[in-house]
């Protein structure tokens, strides 16, 4: 009889602890951990990622560059890049020349950080 009272008491204690633990976790909304919040804040503070594209210069002036390249579907596609005083220009940049552009996408605009003309095939370095 004493053993069954002990078993009953232990079982009741375990059930009570389990039920009270579930009630505590479900009644309070979870807050994001500080590590997760800091990670997202650091991501927002970083500069936009620089990307690279290559193709043939269709047109170029002081403010913009239009580069033609083949899209994934095999068709030619024109892409426009904004040029500014910080854009580094290397080589003979003119229509018809092959070029490589390093750029950042900001505010739905591609801003070139550097444009480099590629040497023509067969040209000596």
pLDDT tens digits, one per residue of 15-59: 666 656 555 554 555 555 555 555 555 455 556 688 999 999 999
Closest-CA residue to 57 (of 25, 5, 93): 93
Q: Where are the domains of the chain?
A: 52-117
For position 1, what pLDDT does the model report?
A: 64
SS3 104: strand
CATH architecture of 52-117: Beta Barrel (2.40)
Tell me the pLDDT tens digit for each residue of 50-99. 899 999 999 999 999 999 998 889 899 999 999 999 999 999 999 999 99
CB contact at 8 A, 54 and 77: no
CA distance 58 to 79: 9
**Which two tokens mark 50?**
């620089």
């Amino acid at each position: 009889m004493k053993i069954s009272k002990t078993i009953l008491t232990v079982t009741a204690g375990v059930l009570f602890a389990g039920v009270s633990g579930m009630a505590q976790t479900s009644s309070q909304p979870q807050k994001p951990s500080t590590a997760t919040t800091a990670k997202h804040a650091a991501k927002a503070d970083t500069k936009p990622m620089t990307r690279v594209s290559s193709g043939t210069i269709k047109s170029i002036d002081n403010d913009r560059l239009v580069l033609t390249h083949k899209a994934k579907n095999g068709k030619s596609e024109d892409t426009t890049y904004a040029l500014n005083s910080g854009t580094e220009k290397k080589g003979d940049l003119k229509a018809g020349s092959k070029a490589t552009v390093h750029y950042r996408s900001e505010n739905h605009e591609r801003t070139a950080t550097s444009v480099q003309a590629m040497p023509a095939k067969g040209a000596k370095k």
